[in-house]
A and B are shown apart, each in its own frame.
Chain A
Amino acid sequence: MRTALTQLRSAAWLGWQIDTNWADPFLFIIYAILRPLATGLILAGVWWAAGAHAPSRQVFAAVFLGNAFHNFVTWIVIGMGWTIVEEREDYETLKFLFTSPMGLYRALAGRALVKVVIAALGVVVVLAVGWFLLHVTWDWRAVRWPQLSLTLLLGTIAALSAGSLVAGFGLMLPRAAILINDGLAVALYLLCGVIFPIDLLPRALQDVALALPFTLWYEALRRFILGAGASARIGAWSDGALLGALTLSTLVFAAIGRAGYVALETRARQLGRLDQTTTF
């Protein structure tokens, strides 16, 4: 256990160095918050242009909140996929991580921890900008902290699990790795109802969306912070049912993520693809 923690700490430190050493810390922090902040401001632009037609301001708050927390998914899920691409293509160090005592999976986990911290920073900044500049506010006394804490924990586990799977596919399919990363980022943005209620999707896609923990995660975050979600379909569920579904979905994702990563890494090794560069 102690060894594992030491290795995780080393991997996290290495990840921090790799992710941030191209700029001074201040510039890096600006870079880390720039994209989620700009996406939030795009939503504000949409609201300024067409908000007069909206039934209530609550709609914008729900959209803004979902978008802010999507930063977790972008940084962790897609970030873990990009870690494989960078290590293999840019630095050509994937094979060294693989043969190091900590192994590739633990190295990935350590790198992911850094991304969790950076993502959390982005979420806090975006929410603060929303609160002070865009009046996306809520009643702190009405926030359901125990449920919210559980939701945050489950969402982070789901993101790490999905990230493992994406990393596994990145190992197995070097030529398609960038496609998978970018494709998943936009697919999750659309499918999980980050900036609109999933009720607007075609029925078949709604069912797919409901099987993804992130859809339930955004709705749970909205419900436990703002007091109401965005989707009428999920809104009919009780708190217990929503948390139960989120827990189940996350556990399934965690199992698939771990087993899937191991299987994909093994297969990639068998096929000699672990350090196969594409010069993309």
Chain B
Amino acid sequence: MSTAPVGATLPGVAGEPRWRRDLALNLRATVARAYVRVIGSLREPTWVMLDAVFPNVGMCAFVLLYRALGAPREFEAVAVLGGILSTYWLNVLWGMGAQLFWEKQQGQLQLYFVAPCSRMAILTGMAIGGALMTTVRSIVGIALGLWVFHIHVAPVGLAELLGIFALTMIALYTVGMTLASLFLFFGREAWHLCNACTEPVYFLSGMYFPIRALGALGVAAAALIPLGLGVDAMRQALLGPGAHALLPLRLEVAALAAFGLLFFALARVALERLETLSKREGKLTQRSG
């Protein structure tokens, strides 16, 4: 008769530590959820238009606005970069934040909760898949910027650019994970909250203009929403002084890393607490239609 503590080993895999088994399970869940996100979004062509084309149409309007104002070309590049990154914010809001709300509406949310893996692993998979697909779709915006609006970017180290981009994505998608946890408790309000978090966040993040133009408000907003810092850091890396940056790049990079850690922890706590609360209030599987 075995004397090992209950749960210390996987039945049939003698000697394997529990942490290793859990890690393998959660990694598999992450990959599986990312796979569904990628394949699922490819299967619905209309979503490609929604994600790849429409955000860039708004970007075109702002580029033309700068032309109407007679602004230097660097401002057009500011708007183009903002437009490209707005695609990610839309994905964070609708693809991450509202995802558990959609699942609830379709009667699938309970499957998430009976699965043996961690809910954080599922959310991480959603984030990785979402970021991956949005990156593929952001090619439309990049193509528009380079070949239609002829924006010029400064020579930049690929490693530096990828590093800043990765930190921005981590910060953004951990916000999405936190929102997903919060929306667990919401019904129809989730939809309206997503709507309400689009243009106001664009304004506070300086999506189509240098956030520095907001002065103290810009600094305060950057301290709350990582999108503004991410956009500003990417602009600094690609446009140099033409970015009209808010803070030194090193500081923004450090802040983005801190945001990533903070929101990951926050998402974990929020998910646990709101799951309990939703169960207690009977809202976990309650459709809001």
**Residues of A in contact with B (beta carbons under 8 Å apart):** 22-23, 31, 34-35, 38-39, 41-43, 45-51, 53-55, 59-60, 63, 90-92, 175-176, 178-179, 182-183, 186-187, 189-190, 194-197, 200-201, 230, 279
Contacts and interface: CB of A to CB of B under 8 A. Distances in A.
A196 B71 CA distance: 13
13 contacts: A34-B196, A38-B203, A45-B203, A45-B214, A49-B75, A49-B244, A50-B75, A90-B288, A92-B289, A182-B50, A189-B58, A195-B62, A201-B64
Interface in B55-93: 55, 57-58, 60-62, 64-72, 75, 78
B196 A35 contact: yes
Given A45-B203, A179-B49, A190-B60, A59 B68 contact: yes
Nearest to A197: B68
A185 to B, nearest CB: 8
Q: For A45, A179, A190, which residue has the most chain B Cβ atoms within 10 angstroms?
A: A45
Contacts of A189: 57-58, 61
A275 to B, nearest CB: 14
A35 B196 CA distance: 6
B72 A53 contact: yes
A173 to B, nearest CB: 10
B200 A186 contact: no
B64 A200 contact: yes
Contact of B57 (A51, A92, A186): A186
Interface string B14-29: 0000000000000000
Given A35-B195, A91-B289, A183-B49, A45 B208 contact: yes
A22 B189 contact: yes
Contacts of B288: 90
Nearest to B195: A35
Contacts of B244: 49
Contact of A196 (B68, B200, B206): B68
B240 interface: no
B192 to A, nearest CB: 6
Q: What 8 A-B pairs come out closest when comparing CB atoms?
A: A50-B71, A38-B199, A49-B213, A186-B57, A38-B200, A196-B64, A48-B213, A45-B209
Contacts of A42: 199, 202-203, 207-209
B50 A50 contact: no
Interface string B248-285: 00000000000000000000000000000000000000
Interface of B: 46, 49-50, 53-55, 57-58, 60-62, 64-72, 75, 78, 105-106, 187-189, 192, 195-196, 198-200, 202-203, 206-210, 212-214, 244, 288-289
A200 B68 contact: yes
Given A23-B189, A53-B72, A90-B289, A196 B213 contact: no
A69 to B, nearest CB: 15
B9 to A, nearest CB: 42
A46 B79 CA distance: 9
B198 A54 contact: no
B68 A38 contact: no
B67 A196 contact: yes
B69 A46 contact: yes
Contact of B202 (A38, A195, A230): A38
A34 to B, nearest CB: 5
A50 to B, nearest CB: 4
Contact of B210 (A49, A51, A54, A196): A49
A175 B66 CA distance: 36
Given A41-B203, A49-B75, A51-B69, A175 B64 contact: no
